[in-house]
Chain A
Amino acid sequence: MVEEIGTTPEGDIIINVGPQHPATHGVLHLVITINGETIKKVEPHLGYIHRSIEKMCESLTYRQFIYVTSRMDYLSAHINNHACALCVEKGLQIEIPSRAKVIRVIMDELTRIASHELWWGAMAMDLGAFTPFFHAFRERETINDIMEETCGARLTMNYMVPGGVMLDIHPNFQKRVKDFITLYKSKISEYDELVTGNIIFQNRMKGVGYLSPEDAISFGCTGPTAKGSGVSSDIRKLYPYEVYDQVQFDEVLETGCDSFARYMVRIREMNQSIRIIEQLIDNIPEGDFQAKTKAVLKLPKGEFYQRVETARGEFGVYIVSEGGTTPYRIKFRSPGFSNLSALDQMARGSKLGDLVAMMGTLDLVIPDIDR
């Protein structure tokens, strides 16, 4: 229960931002203590969208539990599914066909771009500019159309299965991805014109939300939040999975440690994703898209952990198996939870308007935090 007092003994005002608030993008509840416009403390309250997904997974088989993870970080559903599929494959000790590996990586990177596109629009909307949101959705819808054609759904695809991918890629897939790359390259300069170069935007972002590299590590921040503070944390580089060790791409690092650095990391990460897709799209190997697996999957007794890089950071799946058809225990390490914990450190001493900008650069997806 949130206490009903409106002020602290020092005379500071306590404001409940959320769970219904335009800036929290969901049901995040922040109890903030402010003195005038200056923030003294930010206290996130969670639990409004807790669905106990980890517990649900324990009653589902190794094929079934994957679809639930799409509902956590719904903006990188493919990557969540991918992590689960990888973890199960690790337990089964099966090698998946190289065609499936490449398809998975292309899908992951398309998801990352789609996620960052939406973040870009929502971030600009947090700062009061509405137009970028619609412009970002134009490109994002193109990706969704590609996904819909191959996977049959736009948001919760359930395309990655243990052993490979559920269906082969659609015949139009390669052509449409190439069309998207052309579209993306022609539109990315508009992002700079509309938002990145804008002086109001730069002044709102530069120098606010400082998160030192030490703090980023101690809060367990990953993904663009850590990379913006110069902390190398890209799982694709550090612990490569699938074909990430065979493609050329740069880990994006910015040393600004502020909101603008985190913003630039995401914008540059989109370009790196395009680079990866460009290398792979013409080189999808022929062959099976799925390895032969038993009808009923049984993981050997033991513990298995697999981490991947989602659009928001490190996503980990930890499976404890007792040898049965369902997991004994499942734990998901979601990036949003750790990134949110750094918000208090970042926000102290800054203005109320900056809090919204910082939350925007953390790219919070609340169902991912609460699970």
Chain B
Amino acid sequence: MVIEMVIAGVCVIGLFAALGLVLVLMERRVAAWIQIRLGPNRVGPKGMLQSLADTVKLLVKEGMTPNGADKFLFNFAPFIAMMVAMLLMAPIAFAKDFQLWDLNIGVLYFSAISSIMVISILMAGWASNNKYSLMGAMRSGAQIVSYELSAGLSILAVVILTGSLNLNEIIQSQADGWWIFKGHIPVIIAFIIFIIAVTAETNRAPFDLAEAESELTAGFHTEYSGMKFALFFLAEYINVFIVCAIGATLFLGGWMPFHIGHWEAFNHVMDYIPSSLWFFGKTFFLIFLIMWFRWTFPRLRIDQLLNLEWKYLLPISMFNILLVTLMAILGWHF
């Protein structure tokens, strides 16, 4: 039992570092190609080692603490961000029968833990003793609390259809087709709302008001440098990975291969592709979506951000829940 836990822990930390490096490189490459640039091309073959070089640079930099800062909270905040990201990793099914913790309320666990993220941002912003940081933290607080609602409601759509909070059961229920295909328009609406809401929850552009570099220089992490900044940076990317993994699990069938009804031969071919490949393929597709948004759209203003949630996303997702419930009761899905 102990050995199992140690192995799992080492795996998670290894996955963490690897994901951080891959995602940062991916982000820079996506940004470059959209902006008709080449992107990283100096360090290593085709610039593959660029993010590794950046990490080494951040590691050897001095991690400064401002004089007026609340030293304990200031240094503690990045670790909370990391801890939240690590905790969220636990219930995700990376492949068939490969899950760290198969708990029966996986979806609820995800919603609950991801809300803790805002505490680290508020803590960082308050403890920095910097007005820009404080404003970034306050914006982030209002934003994450609001967008939790519609993220939760859109997840609920799938929970209603499945009748279970267990991530494994949700995946099993998609063996004959993913929810995004089986659930007709209501699930597609829920999926769109989910993507918008998690983009906001992870503080990604166009909802990056907590950082908003043209307004608040760097928002809540203005005063952070070196490895403490790197932890925030890493946590952001891990969070993006996790929300996309959750989205892939709920709407796109997780590691479940692409199956169409009773086409046995086709389904059989699909089963030959390893389940982990399916999972990572779907997740990285969603990550690409979120990166694509970031490099296309301008940023919203804080009041518009809250308007979007309370006047548009929340009413639509509430109405959507009604539709989904009706569909589940009448059995209109396949």
Of the candidates A15, A131, A200, A203, which one forms a contact with B295 in the assembled complex, judged by CB atoms under 8 Å apart?
A131
Q: Which residue of A lies closest to B209 (CB)?
A: A353
* Total count of chain A residues near the partner, CB < 8 A: 32
- Give the residues in chain B near A201, CB-CB below 8 Å: 298
Docked Cα-Cα span, A56 to B215, in Å, equals 36
Chain A at the B interface: SS class: helix
A8-36 CB contact bits vs B (8 Å, 1 = yes)?
00000101000001110000000000000
User: Which residues of chain A are within 8 angstroms of B34 by Cβ–Cβ distance?
Assistant: 131
The answer to whether A353 touches B212, judged by C-beta atoms less than 8 angstroms apart, is: yes
CA distance A37 to B217 in the complex (A): 15
| Distance A321 CA – B31 CA, assembled complex (angstroms) | 55
A23-B300 in contact given A130-B295, A131-B34, A134-B36 (Cβ < 8 Å): no
Partner of B297, one of A15, A129, A352, A355: A129
* A269 interfacial by beta-carbon distance below 8 Å: no
Q: Mark A137-151, 1 if CB is under 8 A from B, else 0.
A: 010000000000000
Any chain B CB within 8 A of the CB of A128?
yes
Q: Name, among A23, A130, A204, A356, the residue most crowded by chain B CB atoms within 10 Å (CB to CB).
A: A130
Q: Bound state CA distance, A21 and B214, in angstroms? A: 8
Chain A residues whose C-beta falls within 8 Å of the C-beta of B304 in the assembled complex: 200, 203-204
Q: Which residues of A contact B97 (CB under 8 A)?
A: none
Contact of A131 among B213, B215, B296 (CB under 8 A): B296
A234 at the B interface (CB under 8 A): no
Asked if A323 is at the interface of the complex by the 8 Å CB criterion, the answer is no
Say yes or no: is A6 at the interface (Cβ < 8 Å to chain B).
Answer: yes
Residues of A within 8 A of B297 (CB): 128-129, 198, 200
Say yes or no: is A89 at the interface (Cβ < 8 Å to chain B): no
Docked pose: A250 CA to B206 CA in angstroms: 36
Q: How far is the CA of A353 from the CA of B295 in the complex (A)?
A: 19
Contact (A352, B135) CB under 8 Å given A22-B214, A128-B206, A204-B304:
yes
Q: Which residues of B contact A73 (CB under 8 A)?
A: none
Q: Does B131 contact A (CB under 8 A)?
A: yes
For the complex, what is the distance from the CA of A307 to the CA of B301, rounded to whole Å?
39
Chain B residue nearest in CB terms to A350:
B301
Known: A23-B214, A135-B36, A351-B302. A130 touches B31 (CB 8 A): yes
- Say how far B27's CB is from chain A's closest CB, in angstroms: 12
Kindly identify which residue among B31, B217, B299, B302 contacts A128, using a CB–CB cutoff of 8 Å.
Answer: B299
Question: Number of residues in B with C-beta < 8 Å to the partner?
Answer: 28
**Contacts of A22 on B, CB cut-off 8 Å?**
213-214, 217
Complex-state Cα separation, A353 to B302, whole angstroms: 8
Q: What is the minimal beta-carbon distance from B222 to any residue of chain A, in angstroms? A: 11
Chain B, range 190-240, C-beta contacts under 8 Å to A = 205-206, 208-209, 212-217
**Whole-angstrom CA separation of A197 from B132 in the bound complex:** 31
Using Cβ atoms and an 8 Å threshold, which residues of chain B touch A200? 206, 297-300, 304
Would you call B62 an interface residue if the criterion is a C-beta within 8 Å of the partner chain's C-beta atoms?
no
B41 within 8 A of A: no
Residues in B whose Cβ lies below 8 Å from that of A6: 131
Name the B residues within 8 Å of A92 (CB-CB). none
Q: Does B35 lie within 8 Å of A131, measured CB to CB? A: yes
B292 to chain A, nearest CB (A): 10
The residue of chain B having its C-beta at the shortest distance from the C-beta of A205 within the complex is: B298
Complex CA distance for A198 and B297, rounded to whole angstroms:
8
Neighbouring B residues of A203 by C-beta, 8 Å: 300-301, 304
Contact B214 A352 (CB under 8 A): no
The stretch among A119-127, A295-303, A329-337 that forms the contact with chain B is A119-127
In the complex, the chain B residue whose C-beta lies closest to that of A354 is B301
| B36 and A138 contacting across the interface, CB-CB below 8 Å | yes
A15 and B132 contact, Cβ closer than 8 Å, known pairs A130-B31, A134-B36, A198-B297: yes
Q: Does A183 make an interface contact (CB < 8 A)?
A: no
Known contacts A128-B214, A131-B35; is-contact A204 B131 (Cβ 8 Å):
no
A residues sitting closer than 8 Å to B (CB atoms) are 6, 13, 15, 21-23, 37, 124-131, 133-135, 138, 194-195, 198, 200-201, 203-204, 351-356
> Mind listing 14 A-B residue pairs with CB under 8 Å?
A22-B213, A37-B303, A125-B214, A127-B298, A134-B35, A138-B36, A198-B297, A200-B298, A352-B216, A353-B209, A353-B212, A353-B302, A354-B301, A356-B214
Taking A128-B298, A204-B299 as known contacts, 19 extra A-B pairs with beta carbons closer than 8 A to each other, sorted by chain A number, are A15-B131, A22-B213, A22-B217, A37-B135, A37-B303, A124-B298, A127-B299, A128-B214, A128-B297, A131-B31, A195-B298, A200-B299, A203-B304, A204-B298, A204-B301, A352-B215, A353-B212, A353-B215, A355-B215
Top 8 closest A-B pairs, CB basis?
A128-B299, A127-B298, A134-B35, A129-B298, A353-B301, A23-B214, A126-B214, A128-B298
